[in-house]
Amino acid sequence: DAGVIQSPRHEVTEMGQEVTLRCKPISGHNSLFWYRQTMMRGLELLIYFNNNVPIDDSGMPEDRFSAKMPNASFSTLKIQPSEPRDSAVYFCASSPGLAPANNQPQHFGDGTRLSIL
Amino acid sequence: SQELEQSPQSLIVQEGKNLTINCTSSKTLYGLYWYKQKYGEGLIFLMMLQKGGEEKSHEKITAKLDEKKQQSSLHITASQPSHAGIYLCGADTSGNTDKLIFGTGTRLQVFP
């Protein structure tokens, strides 16, 4: 079975450019999560969706970041304009549904390694 | 201060040795998830614990959630080079959302 699919795997771009990261969750999973991982701050939740609706975006660092989930099989995380401090590995994860009735583990993609020069 | 603390931060052991990684929360743990990450890859789910006193095993890895539900330990018996990687604990500290917080990870190296 296909896991969570992220693209691109690597992205190098100059500051000021728009960056779009993509995610395809596992089929049938109703919750989707975007995380950022850095050496300094570890793994941080940016935003998560349930049934395509954003539930908690309190982790989104600032207005330069936006996320959408137009349908159950696709989500994007956009940074505009990008800055060097946005350099990190961005992970997407999905799970079957809302806790506690469906307390299931999140399954992660392989991540997008983003470098802003 | 970190809501979820892992210790140690790094560990270097000789192949065949046993080791333990701890994950301590400042809040009640309603669900505790252990993941393993290799460099350049995503997190691989290992085990999930929900009930105080619960213990689960998979091959040579055993995880426990203490009775008071604020600490979990991950124990590896007879470590192998394939166990090397970063181990992260993720916790549900609210009980009513899908949101997890993660520890900073424990980097494990196993040398022959």
CA–CA min distance B55, chain A (Å): 17
Query: Chain A residue closest to B88 (CA)?
Result: A43
Rounded to the nearest angstrom, the gap between the alpha carbon of residue A88 and the centroid of all alpha carbons in its chain is 12
Residue B1 predicted with pLDDT over 60: no
pLDDT band at A101 (very low <50, low <70, confident <90, very high): very low
Enumerate the residues of chain A whose CB falls inside 8 A of the CB of residue B58. none
Q: Which of B39, B42, B30, B40 is nearest to B90 (CA)?
A: B30
Are A109 and B42 an interchain contact pair (Cβ–Cβ within 8 Å)?
yes
pLDDT tens string B11-51: 999 999 999 999 999 988 888 999 999 988 899 999 999 88
List the structure tokens of B45: 């789910």
Cβ of A43 within 8 Å of Cβ of B88? The answer is yes
pLDDT in tens, B48-87: 998 888 999 988 999 999 978 799 999 999 999 999 999 9
The mean pLDDT value for B85-106 works out to 88
**Number of neighbours of residue B80 by Cβ within 10 angstroms:** 13
Least CA distance to A111: which residue of chain B?
Answer: B42
Q: Which residues of B12-39 are buried (b: 16+ CB within 10 A; e: fewer)?
A: ebeeeeebebbbbbeeebbbbbbbbbee
B9 token code pair: 């931060």
Taking contacts as CB-CB distances below 8 angstroms, the residues of chain A near B107 are: none
A→B interface, C-beta within 8 Å: 4, 31, 33, 42-45, 48, 50, 55-56, 91, 93, 95, 97-100, 103, 105-111, 113
- Flag if A99 and B45 touch (Cβ within 8 Å): no
Task: Tell if the CB–CB gap between B45 and A106 is shorter than 8 Å.
Answer: yes
Residue partners of A97: CB distance under 8 A and separation at least 6: A29, A30, A31, A50, A104, B98
- Integer Rg of chain A from CA: 14
Contacts of A93 in chain B (CB under 8 A): 43
Residue B81, classed as helix, strand or coil, is helix
- Pick from B38, A7, B67: which is nearest to B46 by CA? B38
pLDDT per residue over A52-91, tens digit each? 999 999 999 889 999 999 999 999 999 999 999 999 999 9
> What are φ and ψ of residue B83, in 5° steps?
-80, -10
- Kindly report, residue by residue over A16-66, the tens digit of the pLDDT: 999 999 999 999 999 999 999 998 889 999 999 999 999 999 999 889 999
pLDDT above 70: residue A1: no
Say whether pLDDT at A99 is over 60: no
> Reduced to 3 states, what is the DSSP secondary structure of residue B97?
coil
**Residue B78 burial (CB count, 10 A):** 10
Q: Residue B59 corresponds to which tokens in the numbers above?
A: 């091959």
